[in-house]
Amino acid sequence: MHFLGGPLECRNVGITIVRCEPGWRSEPHDHREDGHEEVYVLIEGEATVVVDDEEVEMGLGDAIWISPESTRQITNSDEESVFVLVSAPVSLEMDSSLRWVTDAFLG
What pLDDT tens digit does each residue of the chain (107 aa) get? 545 556 556 566 777 888 999 999 999 999 988 888 889 999 999 999 999 999 999 999 999 999 999 999 999 989 999 998 887 776 544 445 544 444 433 33
**Cα–Cα distance, 45 to 52 (Å, whole number):** 23
**Cα–Cα distance, 17 to 53 (Å, whole number):** 24
